[in-house]
Structure 1
């Protein structure tokens, strides 16, 4: 039987009379929402969406008070679902965690059983959260690219915004699978870091976000993983090879894409939307399995990894929104 401690610590966002507050508080089990499975959280992580959740006028938080944290990994302490037993290690990402339902920045969380996965073979709880939503998104993007025919040896794959959480992991994963990886970044100081992850070509942010260009340019990329969107996605579409695919999974460069239909009707380029939040259960399980095997990054607990405590979350989230944090940031509870 896993020991249950109460009260417990949680990082809570609240609003009262229009005043926003964020900080660590003590809660009890009675404060948790109803659900099938209660988990003693061992690790969470900080994603771009978590940073958005902590803004006073957050575009992602549906109600207050809220415990942010869209990732959770820990040990089951209570369960009324036969699929999950007390003492079992489990992981949950996405869905409504941290935005409409209490998330992972608490020593305990309670969730619907359908949101949980058994901890995948090949991953420790720490490794699972160093992947988290960002790593899962990178893995899902690569899975979708391969479902659309991408194979090593077909040409270079470009990863944009390459020092971020999703992109750092994607560079490492792709290189580990044998792809020729190019990476774009606006940070000259991080070129050695990206080469360490497996990139063999580094492009500047300016090169991949130029707006003065014809609707079709050279067929340069076999595929791309893009968490940036905006002008960068427009660049990718007009520079991807015939039949190639671009997997878009973010909008740090903005939601508006100024492009034409020409890449689609003259080159057969595929634009793949990557959604890790409501990903179907069978796809979710398949990607998690690969994350513990052939997609497991080689640098997962090395140069990709940062670690903070519950009290350090707010400052780190602000740095992620500002684009000054590289790799993945783990929250140890």
Structure 2
């Protein structure tokens, strides 16, 4: 690898700074696998890492970026070899361990996933943590009895990264998808991803008190939003349906009652993509590269940015000013 390379660094000294700096391999954290990064992506957690009060980064100076894909440069683990295409998401990447906003990264071998056949390095980051979280949500729902023939599936926050990927994958798998968004101008985009119905945020939760039980509208839901809206969703899930929740952009408090759970047998499934076991992670990525892969995957891409353009993209995602996925191009394919 080159002696000096570029990365986006956040630092918290007398003032909080975000900028490009030069690094050497000696400054990378410990790990068995050195990777030349081809692509990363922009997630809400990355946006939080770029502000002083985001409560994501544990020590400074730091290199954010919770996703990356690229080529193995060297490996002390025999499972990986020079030139191999790999990806990595979750664990401590971009939180406690230098992440993907760098031309090179060094990671523990158990965090690294061989790129499955059928997926390019760029496509891996169109998915990224957001797509993996969506896929894990669908997997958990299906383990709880959800299937295409049983009714509609609601996706909240559908114009975001997790939501858009969930709409596209559910449609690919034959589900009838109702996509909810607070941005009415994205209705056409969501239909292109495969949604059969687009709902306004207010049609899911209009504000005020939530009925403990409401009309049964959906067999299941993928919810990356949380908050009071989640309580409204739970009240409308059909008998023995399920909700997979993975986010908190709508808040952490859920003012629900036990009635959906004990009278309708509804299941609330918590989705954590960070510490998903390696074997399950690899199998799910194979599905995402195969039968679950949407033909319209590229429609999820909002834009590609360079390291220099990355600060603006991080600001945009915190303002909910981004539709779908923003890719960070480093070396490329």
The TM-score normalised by the length of structure 2 is 0.97
Counterparts of 1:114-263 in structure 2, within 5 Å, are 114-210=110-206, 211-263=208-260
- Distance in 1 of aligned mates of 2:228 and 2:203: 11
Q: Which residue of the partner structure matches residue 314 of structure 2?
A: 317
User: Any stretches of 5+ residues in structure 2 without a counterpart?
Assistant: none
Q: Which residue of the partner structure matches residue 80 of structure 1?
A: 76
User: How much does 1:208 deviate?
Assistant: 1.4
User: How much does 1:297 deviate?
Assistant: 2.2
Q: Which residue of the partner structure matches residue 34 of structure 1?
A: 30
- 1:221-272 deviations in whole A, cap 9, x for unaligned? 1000000000111011110000000000101101110000000000000000
Kept in 2: contact 1:130–1:305 (CA 8 A) = no
Kept in 1: contact 2:222–2:243 (CA 8 A) = yes
- Distance in 2 of aligned mates of 1:22 and 1:303: 27
Moved more, 115-124 or 200-209: 200-209
Aligned pairs, number: 329
User: How much does 1:133 deviate?
Assistant: 0.2
- Distance in 2 of aligned mates of 1:322 and 1:276: 23
- Distance in 2 of aligned mates of 1:218 and 1:272: 21
User: How much does 1:58 deviate?
Assistant: 2.1
Q: Which residue of the partner structure matches residue 11 of structure 2?
A: 14
Q: Which runs of 4+ in 1 moved over 4 A?
A: none
Q: Which residue of the partner structure matches residue 277 of structure 2?
A: 280
- Distance in 1 of aligned mates of 2:300 and 2:56: 30
Instruction: Select 1:70's aligned residue among 66, 76, 81.
Output: 66
Kept in 1: contact 2:182–2:201 (CA 8 A) = yes
- Distance in 2 of aligned mates of 1:162 and 1:286: 25
Kept in 2: contact 1:168–1:304 (CA 8 A) = no
User: Any stretches of 5+ residues in structure 1 without a counterpart?
Assistant: none
The TM-score normalised by the length of structure 1 is 0.97
User: How much does 1:305 deviate?
Assistant: 4.2
Instruction: Select 2:303's aligned residue among 296, 301, 306.
Output: 306
- Distance in 2 of aligned mates of 1:324 and 1:180: 27
Instruction: Select 2:292's aligned residue among 281, 295, 317.
Output: 295
- Distance in 2 of aligned mates of 1:276 and 1:161: 18
Q: Which residue of the partner structure matches residue 267 of structure 1?
A: 264
- Distance in 2 of aligned mates of 1:47 and 1:150: 28
- Distance in 1 of aligned mates of 2:209 and 2:253: 16
RMSD: 1.0
- Distance in 1 of aligned mates of 2:264 and 2:91: 35
